[in-house]
Structure 1
Amino acid sequence: MPGLKHSAHVGYLFTDRPLRERIRAAADHGFGAVEHPAPYSVDAQEMAYWLKEAGIVYTQFGLHAGDVQLGEKGIAIFPERREEFRSSVGAGLDYAEAIGVRMVHVMAGVLPRSHRSRHHSDCYLENLAYAARQAETRGMTILIEAMSAGAVPNYFIETPDRAAEAAAETGYANVKLLFDVFHTASTGLDVGEQIRKHAARIAHVHIADYPNRHEPGSETLDFKAIYDTLWDIGYRGWLGCEYVPAGRTEEGLGWLNGMTTA
Protein backbone atom coordinates (compact mmCIF):
# COMPACT_ATOMS: atom_id res chain seq x y z
CA MET A 1 0.00 0.00 0.00
CA PRO A 2 1.13 3.61 -0.49
CA GLY A 3 3.38 5.01 2.21
CA LEU A 4 0.95 7.23 4.07
CA LYS A 5 1.74 8.31 7.63
CA HIS A 6 -0.25 7.42 10.75
CA SER A 7 -1.12 9.64 13.68
CA ALA A 8 -2.41 8.10 16.92
CA HIS A 9 -5.55 9.78 18.21
CA VAL A 10 -4.81 9.48 21.91
CA GLY A 11 -8.39 10.31 22.86
CA TYR A 12 -9.18 6.82 21.51
CA LEU A 13 -5.92 4.86 21.65
CA PHE A 14 -3.83 3.84 24.67
CA THR A 15 -6.50 5.25 26.98
CA ASP A 16 -5.61 2.91 29.84
CA ARG A 17 -2.79 5.28 30.85
CA PRO A 18 -2.21 9.00 31.51
CA LEU A 19 -1.84 11.34 28.52
CA ARG A 20 1.93 11.64 28.75
CA GLU A 21 2.29 7.86 28.65
CA ARG A 22 -0.15 7.63 25.73
CA ILE A 23 2.17 9.86 23.73
CA ARG A 24 5.17 7.70 24.61
CA ALA A 25 3.22 4.54 23.78
CA ALA A 26 2.26 5.92 20.37
CA ALA A 27 5.91 6.57 19.56
CA ASP A 28 6.96 3.17 20.91
CA HIS A 29 4.43 1.43 18.64
CA GLY A 30 5.55 3.14 15.46
CA PHE A 31 3.27 6.14 15.14
CA GLY A 32 4.99 9.26 13.86
CA ALA A 33 2.47 11.67 15.35
CA VAL A 34 -0.34 12.07 17.86
CA GLU A 35 -3.51 14.13 18.08
CA HIS A 36 -6.16 14.92 20.64
CA PRO A 37 -8.97 17.46 20.31
CA ALA A 38 -8.51 19.13 23.69
CA PRO A 39 -4.95 19.34 25.03
CA TYR A 40 -5.54 22.49 27.09
CA SER A 41 -5.46 20.81 30.51
CA VAL A 42 -1.70 20.45 29.96
CA ASP A 43 0.42 23.60 29.84
CA ALA A 44 1.69 24.18 26.30
CA GLN A 45 5.34 24.21 27.35
CA GLU A 46 4.85 20.94 29.21
CA MET A 47 3.16 19.41 26.17
CA ALA A 48 6.03 20.58 23.96
CA TYR A 49 8.44 18.83 26.32
CA TRP A 50 6.40 15.58 26.23
CA LEU A 51 6.45 15.61 22.43
CA LYS A 52 10.20 16.24 22.30
CA GLU A 53 10.75 13.54 24.91
CA ALA A 54 8.84 11.00 22.79
CA GLY A 55 10.33 12.19 19.49
CA ILE A 56 6.89 12.68 17.97
CA VAL A 57 4.83 15.53 16.51
CA TYR A 58 1.28 16.74 17.17
CA THR A 59 -0.87 16.99 14.03
CA GLN A 60 -4.00 18.95 14.94
CA PHE A 61 -6.42 19.78 17.74
CA GLY A 62 -9.60 21.80 18.23
CA LEU A 63 -10.50 25.17 19.60
CA HIS A 64 -12.33 25.15 22.92
CA ALA A 65 -15.58 23.38 22.07
CA GLY A 66 -17.83 24.13 25.04
CA ASP A 67 -18.90 21.88 27.90
CA VAL A 68 -18.40 18.21 27.04
CA GLN A 69 -20.56 17.20 30.03
CA LEU A 70 -23.48 19.00 28.39
CA GLY A 71 -22.87 17.31 25.06
CA GLU A 72 -21.49 20.44 23.42
CA LYS A 73 -19.32 19.95 20.36
CA GLY A 74 -18.37 23.45 19.37
CA ILE A 75 -19.76 26.94 19.87
CA ALA A 76 -19.14 28.54 16.46
CA ILE A 77 -22.81 28.60 15.40
CA PHE A 78 -24.18 30.42 18.43
CA PRO A 79 -24.52 34.22 18.09
CA GLU A 80 -24.76 34.69 21.86
CA ARG A 81 -21.34 33.03 22.26
CA ARG A 82 -19.52 34.97 19.56
CA GLU A 83 -17.11 36.66 21.98
CA GLU A 84 -16.39 33.38 23.72
CA PHE A 85 -15.58 31.85 20.35
CA ARG A 86 -13.30 34.68 19.31
CA SER A 87 -11.39 34.46 22.58
CA SER A 88 -10.91 30.76 21.94
CA VAL A 89 -9.28 31.48 18.58
CA GLY A 90 -6.39 33.44 20.04
CA ALA A 91 -5.91 30.93 22.86
CA GLY A 92 -5.98 27.98 20.46
CA LEU A 93 -3.57 29.49 17.96
CA ASP A 94 -1.15 30.48 20.73
CA TYR A 95 -1.20 26.91 22.06
CA ALA A 96 -0.72 25.55 18.55
CA GLU A 97 2.33 27.72 17.93
CA ALA A 98 3.85 26.65 21.24
CA ILE A 99 3.69 22.93 20.37
CA GLY A 100 4.36 23.16 16.63
CA VAL A 101 0.83 22.49 15.34
CA ARG A 102 -0.17 24.04 12.00
CA MET A 103 -3.84 22.98 11.81
CA VAL A 104 -6.64 23.86 14.23
CA HIS A 105 -10.15 22.39 14.06
CA VAL A 106 -13.20 24.64 14.49
CA MET A 107 -16.13 22.57 15.73
CA ALA A 108 -19.47 24.01 14.69
CA GLY A 109 -21.87 22.90 17.40
CA VAL A 110 -24.91 20.73 18.06
CA LEU A 111 -28.39 22.10 17.41
CA PRO A 112 -31.63 20.36 16.33
CA ARG A 113 -32.81 21.37 12.86
CA SER A 114 -36.06 22.71 14.30
CA HIS A 115 -34.06 25.26 16.30
CA ARG A 116 -31.80 26.43 13.48
CA SER A 117 -32.13 29.74 11.72
CA ARG A 118 -30.18 31.88 9.28
CA HIS A 119 -28.59 33.57 12.28
CA HIS A 120 -26.77 30.36 13.15
CA SER A 121 -25.46 29.89 9.61
CA ASP A 122 -24.39 33.52 9.37
CA CYS A 123 -22.66 33.38 12.75
CA TYR A 124 -20.85 30.18 11.78
CA LEU A 125 -19.48 31.67 8.57
CA GLU A 126 -18.48 34.90 10.30
CA ASN A 127 -16.67 32.96 13.00
CA LEU A 128 -14.93 30.72 10.46
CA ALA A 129 -13.77 33.76 8.54
CA TYR A 130 -12.52 35.39 11.74
CA ALA A 131 -10.58 32.24 12.68
CA ALA A 132 -9.20 31.98 9.14
CA ARG A 133 -7.94 35.58 9.22
CA GLN A 134 -6.21 35.04 12.54
CA ALA A 135 -4.72 31.73 11.40
CA GLU A 136 -3.58 33.18 8.07
CA THR A 137 -1.31 35.69 9.79
CA ARG A 138 0.49 32.76 11.44
CA GLY A 139 0.61 30.55 8.36
CA MET A 140 -1.90 28.11 9.85
CA THR A 141 -4.89 26.16 8.53
CA ILE A 142 -8.44 26.03 9.91
CA LEU A 143 -10.13 22.63 9.67
CA ILE A 144 -13.83 21.78 9.29
CA GLU A 145 -15.06 18.23 9.90
CA ALA A 146 -18.41 16.75 8.92
CA MET A 147 -19.89 14.47 11.58
CA SER A 148 -22.62 11.95 10.77
CA ALA A 149 -26.03 12.11 12.41
CA GLY A 150 -25.72 8.53 13.61
CA ALA A 151 -22.57 9.24 15.58
CA VAL A 152 -23.18 12.87 16.59
CA PRO A 153 -26.91 13.66 16.43
CA ASN A 154 -27.79 17.20 15.36
CA TYR A 155 -24.24 18.24 14.53
CA PHE A 156 -24.45 21.33 12.34
CA ILE A 157 -22.16 20.04 9.56
CA GLU A 158 -23.14 16.48 8.57
CA THR A 159 -21.58 15.84 5.15
CA PRO A 160 -18.33 16.61 3.31
CA ASP A 161 -20.37 18.60 0.77
CA ARG A 162 -21.67 20.93 3.47
CA ALA A 163 -18.22 21.28 5.00
CA ALA A 164 -16.74 22.14 1.61
CA GLU A 165 -19.51 24.66 0.94
CA ALA A 166 -18.86 26.39 4.25
CA ALA A 167 -15.12 26.48 3.59
CA ALA A 168 -15.68 28.03 0.17
CA GLU A 169 -18.19 30.56 1.50
CA THR A 170 -15.61 32.00 3.89
CA GLY A 171 -13.48 33.08 0.93
CA TYR A 172 -10.31 31.95 2.68
CA ALA A 173 -7.98 29.41 1.07
CA ASN A 174 -6.67 28.27 4.47
CA VAL A 175 -10.04 26.79 5.48
CA LYS A 176 -9.74 23.09 4.69
CA LEU A 177 -11.46 19.78 5.37
CA LEU A 178 -10.74 17.23 8.05
CA PHE A 179 -12.10 14.28 6.07
CA ASP A 180 -13.40 11.48 8.29
CA VAL A 181 -13.73 8.07 6.64
CA PHE A 182 -16.04 6.66 9.32
CA HIS A 183 -18.43 9.62 9.36
CA THR A 184 -18.58 9.63 5.56
CA ALA A 185 -19.45 5.94 5.44
CA SER A 186 -21.97 6.43 8.26
CA THR A 187 -23.80 8.99 6.14
CA GLY A 188 -24.20 6.39 3.39
CA LEU A 189 -21.78 8.08 1.02
CA ASP A 190 -19.12 6.38 -1.09
CA VAL A 191 -15.82 7.16 0.62
CA GLY A 192 -13.68 7.00 -2.51
CA GLU A 193 -16.04 9.25 -4.47
CA GLN A 194 -16.08 11.81 -1.69
CA ILE A 195 -12.29 11.82 -1.42
CA ARG A 196 -11.97 12.48 -5.15
CA LYS A 197 -14.71 15.11 -5.09
CA HIS A 198 -13.11 17.11 -2.30
CA ALA A 199 -9.45 16.39 -3.05
CA ALA A 200 -8.45 20.06 -3.28
CA ARG A 201 -9.79 20.85 0.20
CA ILE A 202 -8.62 17.82 2.21
CA ALA A 203 -5.89 18.75 4.70
CA HIS A 204 -6.25 15.97 7.28
CA VAL A 205 -7.89 12.53 7.36
CA HIS A 206 -9.38 10.39 10.13
CA ILE A 207 -9.70 6.64 9.69
CA ALA A 208 -11.82 3.96 11.37
CA ASP A 209 -13.81 1.06 10.00
CA TYR A 210 -17.59 0.95 9.71
CA PRO A 211 -20.07 0.30 11.33
CA ASN A 212 -18.52 -0.22 14.79
CA ARG A 213 -15.62 2.21 14.39
CA HIS A 214 -13.02 -0.45 15.14
CA GLU A 215 -9.56 -1.03 13.65
CA PRO A 216 -9.20 -0.34 9.90
CA GLY A 217 -9.64 -3.57 7.97
CA SER A 218 -11.69 -5.28 10.68
CA GLU A 219 -15.15 -4.54 9.29
CA THR A 220 -16.68 -3.50 5.96
CA LEU A 221 -14.53 -0.78 4.38
CA ASP A 222 -11.86 -1.43 1.73
CA PHE A 223 -8.87 0.39 3.15
CA LYS A 224 -6.56 -0.60 0.33
CA ALA A 225 -8.88 1.23 -2.05
CA ILE A 226 -9.16 4.20 0.34
CA TYR A 227 -5.37 4.47 0.71
CA ASP A 228 -4.89 4.16 -3.04
CA THR A 229 -7.43 6.91 -3.67
CA LEU A 230 -5.79 9.23 -1.16
CA TRP A 231 -2.41 8.57 -2.76
CA ASP A 232 -3.82 9.13 -6.24
CA ILE A 233 -5.21 12.58 -5.36
CA GLY A 234 -1.80 13.57 -4.03
CA TYR A 235 -2.62 13.43 -0.32
CA ARG A 236 0.62 13.13 1.67
CA GLY A 237 -0.64 14.22 5.09
CA TRP A 238 -1.31 12.21 8.23
CA LEU A 239 -3.98 9.58 8.71
CA GLY A 240 -5.42 10.16 12.15
CA CYS A 241 -6.29 6.81 13.73
CA GLU A 242 -9.54 7.78 15.44
CA TYR A 243 -10.97 4.34 16.03
CA VAL A 244 -12.31 2.45 19.03
CA PRO A 245 -10.01 -0.53 19.72
CA ALA A 246 -11.89 -3.80 19.90
CA GLY A 247 -9.64 -4.73 22.84
CA ARG A 248 -6.45 -3.22 24.24
CA THR A 249 -4.88 -0.84 21.73
CA GLU A 250 -1.64 -2.84 21.48
CA GLU A 251 -3.46 -6.08 20.73
CA GLY A 252 -5.19 -4.57 17.72
CA LEU A 253 -2.26 -2.91 15.97
CA GLY A 254 -1.64 -5.80 13.59
CA TRP A 255 -3.49 -3.91 10.86
CA LEU A 256 -0.52 -1.51 10.67
CA ASN A 257 1.77 -4.31 9.50
CA GLY A 258 0.51 -4.02 5.95
CA MET A 259 0.94 -0.27 5.88
CA THR A 260 4.17 1.55 5.12
CA THR A 261 4.56 4.40 7.58
CA ALA A 262 6.88 7.36 7.33
Structure 2
Amino acid sequence: MSGFKYSAHVGYLFTDKPLSERIKAAAHHGFGAVEHPAPYSVEAQEMAQWLKEAGIVYTQFGLHAGDAQRGEKGIAIFPERREEFRRSVGVGLDYAEAIGVSMVHVMAGVLPSARRSRHHWDCYLENLAYAAREAESRGVMILIEAMSAGAVPNYFIETADQAADAAASTGYANVKLLFDVFHTVSTGLDVHEQIRKHASQILHVHIADYPGRHEPGSETLDFDAIRETLTGAGYRGWLGCEYIPAGQTEEGLGWLKV
Protein backbone atom coordinates (compact mmCIF):
# COMPACT_ATOMS: atom_id res chain seq x y z
CA MET A 1 0.00 0.00 0.00
CA SER A 2 3.01 2.30 -0.35
CA GLY A 3 2.86 5.40 -2.50
CA PHE A 4 -0.25 6.82 -0.84
CA LYS A 5 -0.76 9.15 2.11
CA TYR A 6 -2.73 7.73 5.04
CA SER A 7 -5.14 9.45 7.38
CA ALA A 8 -5.99 7.72 10.67
CA HIS A 9 -9.68 7.84 11.55
CA VAL A 10 -9.33 8.35 15.29
CA GLY A 11 -12.95 7.47 15.90
CA TYR A 12 -11.90 3.90 15.06
CA LEU A 13 -8.15 3.74 15.69
CA PHE A 14 -6.25 4.10 18.98
CA THR A 15 -9.56 4.29 20.86
CA ASP A 16 -8.02 3.07 24.12
CA LYS A 17 -6.48 6.54 24.43
CA PRO A 18 -7.87 10.04 24.98
CA LEU A 19 -8.33 11.98 21.74
CA SER A 20 -5.18 14.07 22.14
CA GLU A 21 -3.13 10.90 22.61
CA ARG A 22 -4.74 9.26 19.57
CA ILE A 23 -3.43 12.10 17.43
CA LYS A 24 0.08 11.66 18.82
CA ALA A 25 -0.12 7.89 18.35
CA ALA A 26 -1.19 8.30 14.72
CA ALA A 27 1.81 10.50 14.01
CA HIS A 28 4.14 8.14 15.87
CA HIS A 29 3.00 5.14 13.82
CA GLY A 30 3.49 6.81 10.46
CA PHE A 31 0.16 8.37 9.59
CA GLY A 32 0.43 11.77 7.97
CA ALA A 33 -3.02 12.93 9.01
CA VAL A 34 -6.02 12.23 11.20
CA GLU A 35 -9.77 12.57 10.77
CA HIS A 36 -12.88 12.30 12.90
CA PRO A 37 -16.42 13.31 11.96
CA ALA A 38 -17.21 15.19 15.17
CA PRO A 39 -14.31 17.14 16.68
CA TYR A 40 -16.48 19.86 18.24
CA SER A 41 -16.14 18.74 21.85
CA VAL A 42 -12.59 20.10 21.64
CA GLU A 43 -12.13 23.85 21.16
CA ALA A 44 -10.69 24.58 17.73
CA GLN A 45 -7.62 26.37 19.08
CA GLU A 46 -6.84 23.43 21.35
CA MET A 47 -7.24 21.02 18.44
CA ALA A 48 -4.95 23.18 16.32
CA GLN A 49 -2.34 23.02 19.06
CA TRP A 50 -2.57 19.22 19.30
CA LEU A 51 -2.07 18.93 15.56
CA LYS A 52 0.89 21.29 15.63
CA GLU A 53 2.56 19.41 18.49
CA ALA A 54 2.08 16.07 16.71
CA GLY A 55 3.27 17.43 13.35
CA ILE A 56 0.17 16.12 11.63
CA VAL A 57 -2.78 17.53 9.68
CA TYR A 58 -6.53 17.00 9.88
CA THR A 59 -8.02 15.87 6.57
CA GLN A 60 -11.80 16.14 6.96
CA PHE A 61 -14.67 16.17 9.43
CA GLY A 62 -18.45 16.50 9.30
CA LEU A 63 -20.96 19.19 10.00
CA HIS A 64 -23.08 18.63 13.10
CA ALA A 65 -25.04 15.49 12.27
CA GLY A 66 -27.76 15.39 14.93
CA ASP A 67 -28.03 13.13 17.94
CA ALA A 68 -25.85 10.06 17.43
CA GLN A 69 -27.43 8.31 20.44
CA ARG A 70 -30.75 8.43 18.60
CA GLY A 71 -29.16 6.99 15.47
CA GLU A 72 -29.07 10.28 13.59
CA LYS A 73 -26.52 10.52 10.79
CA GLY A 74 -27.09 13.97 9.42
CA ILE A 75 -29.94 16.47 9.21
CA ALA A 76 -29.56 17.81 5.67
CA ILE A 77 -32.64 16.02 4.24
CA PHE A 78 -35.16 17.29 6.79
CA PRO A 79 -37.11 20.44 5.81
CA GLU A 80 -38.10 21.12 9.42
CA ARG A 81 -34.40 21.27 10.40
CA ARG A 82 -33.27 23.62 7.65
CA GLU A 83 -32.31 26.44 10.02
CA GLU A 84 -30.46 24.05 12.30
CA PHE A 85 -28.52 22.82 9.28
CA ARG A 86 -27.63 26.34 8.17
CA ARG A 87 -26.32 27.18 11.62
CA SER A 88 -24.18 24.05 11.50
CA VAL A 89 -22.56 25.22 8.27
CA GLY A 90 -21.21 28.40 9.85
CA VAL A 91 -19.98 26.53 12.92
CA GLY A 92 -18.31 23.85 10.82
CA LEU A 93 -16.61 26.25 8.43
CA ASP A 94 -15.29 28.37 11.30
CA TYR A 95 -13.85 25.23 12.90
CA ALA A 96 -12.35 24.09 9.60
CA GLU A 97 -10.67 27.44 9.10
CA ALA A 98 -9.24 27.40 12.62
CA ILE A 99 -7.58 23.98 12.23
CA GLY A 100 -6.66 24.15 8.54
CA VAL A 101 -9.21 21.69 7.11
CA SER A 102 -10.21 22.02 3.46
CA MET A 103 -12.88 19.27 3.26
CA VAL A 104 -16.13 19.14 5.23
CA HIS A 105 -18.57 16.24 5.03
CA VAL A 106 -22.31 16.90 4.87
CA MET A 107 -24.16 13.86 6.20
CA ALA A 108 -27.59 13.46 4.62
CA GLY A 109 -29.63 11.69 7.27
CA VAL A 110 -31.40 8.43 8.07
CA LEU A 111 -34.97 7.90 6.88
CA PRO A 112 -36.80 4.70 5.85
CA SER A 113 -37.66 4.57 2.15
CA ALA A 114 -41.40 4.40 2.83
CA ARG A 115 -41.28 7.79 4.55
CA ARG A 116 -39.25 9.59 1.90
CA SER A 117 -40.70 12.14 -0.48
CA ARG A 118 -39.45 14.55 -3.12
CA HIS A 119 -39.36 17.20 -0.41
CA HIS A 120 -36.48 15.41 1.30
CA TRP A 121 -34.40 15.26 -1.89
CA ASP A 122 -35.15 18.90 -2.71
CA CYS A 123 -34.23 19.97 0.81
CA TYR A 124 -31.01 17.97 0.61
CA LEU A 125 -29.97 19.65 -2.64
CA GLU A 126 -30.89 23.08 -1.29
CA ASN A 127 -28.81 22.48 1.84
CA LEU A 128 -25.86 21.12 -0.12
CA ALA A 129 -25.93 24.17 -2.37
CA TYR A 130 -26.09 26.47 0.66
CA ALA A 131 -23.10 24.72 2.25
CA ALA A 132 -21.18 24.80 -1.02
CA ARG A 133 -21.85 28.50 -1.51
CA GLU A 134 -20.74 29.35 2.03
CA ALA A 135 -17.67 27.08 1.73
CA GLU A 136 -16.61 28.33 -1.68
CA SER A 137 -15.45 31.73 -0.44
CA ARG A 138 -13.26 30.01 2.18
CA GLY A 139 -11.67 27.56 -0.22
CA VAL A 140 -13.38 24.58 1.43
CA MET A 141 -14.74 21.54 -0.42
CA ILE A 142 -18.00 19.81 0.51
CA LEU A 143 -18.02 16.00 0.66
CA ILE A 144 -20.88 13.55 0.10
CA GLU A 145 -20.49 9.92 1.16
CA ALA A 146 -22.65 6.93 0.26
CA MET A 147 -23.21 4.51 3.13
CA SER A 148 -24.31 0.89 2.76
CA ALA A 149 -27.57 -0.36 4.24
CA GLY A 150 -25.77 -3.09 6.14
CA ALA A 151 -23.64 -0.62 8.04
CA VAL A 152 -26.04 2.33 8.26
CA PRO A 153 -29.63 1.16 7.72
CA ASN A 154 -31.87 3.64 5.89
CA TYR A 155 -29.13 6.14 5.13
CA PHE A 156 -30.43 8.49 2.45
CA ILE A 157 -27.47 8.11 0.07
CA GLU A 158 -26.49 4.46 -0.48
CA THR A 159 -24.47 4.46 -3.72
CA ALA A 160 -21.80 6.56 -5.38
CA ASP A 161 -24.21 7.08 -8.28
CA GLN A 162 -26.68 8.77 -5.94
CA ALA A 163 -23.92 10.84 -4.35
CA ALA A 164 -22.59 11.91 -7.74
CA ASP A 165 -26.10 12.85 -8.88
CA ALA A 166 -26.60 15.00 -5.80
CA ALA A 167 -23.21 16.69 -6.24
CA ALA A 168 -23.89 17.50 -9.90
CA SER A 169 -27.41 18.72 -9.14
CA THR A 170 -26.13 21.45 -6.80
CA GLY A 171 -24.34 23.18 -9.67
CA TYR A 172 -21.30 23.83 -7.47
CA ALA A 173 -17.84 22.60 -8.43
CA ASN A 174 -16.73 22.33 -4.79
CA VAL A 175 -19.13 19.44 -4.03
CA LYS A 176 -17.30 16.13 -4.43
CA LEU A 177 -17.40 12.52 -3.27
CA LEU A 178 -15.99 10.81 -0.22
CA PHE A 179 -15.63 7.32 -1.73
CA ASP A 180 -15.74 4.48 0.78
CA VAL A 181 -14.34 1.13 -0.37
CA PHE A 182 -16.08 -0.89 2.34
CA HIS A 183 -19.51 0.68 1.79
CA THR A 184 -19.18 0.21 -1.97
CA VAL A 185 -18.40 -3.50 -1.72
CA SER A 186 -21.05 -3.96 0.99
CA THR A 187 -23.66 -2.61 -1.43
CA GLY A 188 -22.69 -5.33 -3.92
CA LEU A 189 -20.97 -3.02 -6.39
CA ASP A 190 -17.65 -3.55 -8.16
CA VAL A 191 -15.23 -1.21 -6.41
CA HIS A 192 -12.89 -0.89 -9.42
CA GLU A 193 -15.74 -0.05 -11.79
CA GLN A 194 -17.09 2.53 -9.35
CA ILE A 195 -13.71 4.20 -8.89
CA ARG A 196 -13.24 4.50 -12.64
CA LYS A 197 -16.80 5.71 -13.17
CA HIS A 198 -16.56 8.48 -10.58
CA ALA A 199 -12.85 9.28 -10.82
CA SER A 200 -13.33 12.96 -11.61
CA GLN A 201 -15.52 13.48 -8.54
CA ILE A 202 -13.62 11.51 -5.89
CA LEU A 203 -11.86 13.86 -3.47
CA HIS A 204 -11.31 11.60 -0.46
CA VAL A 205 -11.23 7.81 0.02
CA HIS A 206 -11.97 5.59 3.01
CA ILE A 207 -10.56 2.07 3.23
CA ALA A 208 -11.43 -1.02 5.27
CA ASP A 209 -11.43 -4.69 4.41
CA TYR A 210 -14.58 -6.73 3.82
CA PRO A 211 -16.70 -8.24 5.32
CA GLY A 212 -15.59 -7.49 8.89
CA ARG A 213 -14.42 -3.92 8.24
CA HIS A 214 -11.00 -4.68 9.69
CA GLU A 215 -7.54 -3.54 8.61
CA PRO A 216 -6.46 -3.86 4.96
CA GLY A 217 -5.09 -7.29 4.12
CA SER A 218 -6.99 -9.06 6.89
CA GLU A 219 -9.93 -10.30 4.83
CA THR A 220 -11.05 -10.61 1.20
CA LEU A 221 -10.20 -7.40 -0.65
CA ASP A 222 -7.13 -7.00 -2.86
CA PHE A 223 -5.80 -3.62 -1.79
CA ASP A 224 -2.87 -3.73 -4.19
CA ALA A 225 -5.40 -3.92 -7.01
CA ILE A 226 -7.52 -1.15 -5.46
CA ARG A 227 -4.43 1.02 -5.14
CA GLU A 228 -3.62 0.42 -8.81
CA THR A 229 -7.15 1.36 -9.84
CA LEU A 230 -7.03 4.54 -7.79
CA THR A 231 -3.66 5.44 -9.29
CA GLY A 232 -4.94 4.74 -12.80
CA ALA A 233 -7.97 6.92 -12.10
CA GLY A 234 -5.68 9.81 -11.17
CA TYR A 235 -6.42 9.81 -7.45
CA ARG A 236 -3.65 11.54 -5.49
CA GLY A 237 -5.41 12.26 -2.21
CA TRP A 238 -5.44 10.69 1.23
CA LEU A 239 -6.58 7.19 2.09
CA GLY A 240 -8.64 7.52 5.25
CA CYS A 241 -8.30 4.45 7.45
CA GLU A 242 -11.83 4.01 8.74
CA TYR A 243 -11.60 0.43 9.88
CA ILE A 244 -12.27 -1.52 13.06
CA PRO A 245 -8.99 -3.01 14.31
CA ALA A 246 -9.25 -6.77 14.74
CA GLY A 247 -7.25 -6.38 17.97
CA GLN A 248 -5.22 -3.50 19.38
CA THR A 249 -4.68 -0.83 16.73
CA GLU A 250 -0.90 -1.04 16.99
CA GLU A 251 -0.87 -4.80 16.51
CA GLY A 252 -2.58 -4.52 13.15
CA LEU A 253 -0.48 -1.82 11.50
CA GLY A 254 1.86 -4.14 9.60
CA TRP A 255 -0.01 -3.42 6.35
CA LEU A 256 0.96 0.25 6.62
CA LYS A 257 4.65 -0.59 6.13
CA VAL A 258 4.16 -2.77 3.04
Same fold (TM over 0.5): yes
Measure, in 1, the Cα distance between the counterparts of 2:81 and 2:59: 27
- Partners of 2:247 and 2:235 in 1: CA distance: 30
- Pairwise CA distance, 1:2: 5.2
Identity %: 84
Partner of 1:133: 133
Unmatched segments (≥5 aa) in structure 1 = none
User: What's the counterpart of residue 229 of structure 2?
Assistant: 229
Aligned match of 1:14: 14
- TM-score for both structures, normalised by structure 2: 0.99
Match of 2:104 in 1: 104
What's 1:4 paired with?
Answer: 4
Question: What's the Cα RMSD here?
Answer: 0.6
**Secondary structure of residue in 1 paired with 2:40:** coil
Instruction: Report the counterpart of residue 168 of structure 1 in structure 2.
Output: 168
Name the amino acid aligned to 2:41.
S
- Structure 2: distance between partners of 1:141 and 1:159: 20
The residue correspondences of 1:1-262 to structure 2 (distance < 5 A) are 1=1, 3-258=3-258
The one-letter code sitting in structure 2 at the alignment partner of 1:227 is R
Displacement of 1:36: 0.3
Q: Matched residue of 1:75: which SS?
A: coil
- Superposed CA offset, 1:78-134 (max 9, x none): 000000000000000000000000000000000000100011000000000000000
Q: Whole-Å Cα distance in 1 between the matches of residues 17 and 216 of structure 2?
A: 23
Aligned-partner Cα distance in 1 for 2:210–2:177: 20
Structure 1 runs (4+) deviating above 2 angstroms are none
Cα distance in structure 2, aligned partners of 1:3 and 1:234: 13
Alpha-carbon distance in structure 2 between the residues aligned to 1:171 and 1:4: 30
Distance across 1 between alignment mates of 2:196 and 2:233: 7
More relative contact order, 1 or 2 (CA 8 Å, 6+ apart): 1
Amino acid at match of 1:45: Q
> How far apart, CA to CA, are the structure 2 residues paired with 1:248 and 1:217?
16
Is the contact made by 2:145 and 2:163 (CA closer than 8 Å) also made in structure 1? yes
Q: Is the 8 A contact 1:2 1:231 kept in 2?
A: no
Return the TM-score normalized by structure 1. 0.98
Q: 1:256 & 1:53 partners in 2: Cα distance?
A: 23
CA contact (8 A) 1:204 1:239 kept: yes
C-alpha separation between the residues in 1 aligned to 2:220 and 2:228? 17
Q: Secondary structure at the match of 2:253?
A: helix
For the residues of structure 2 that align with 1:219 and 1:205, how far apart are their CA atoms? 19
How big is the shift at 1:234? 1.3
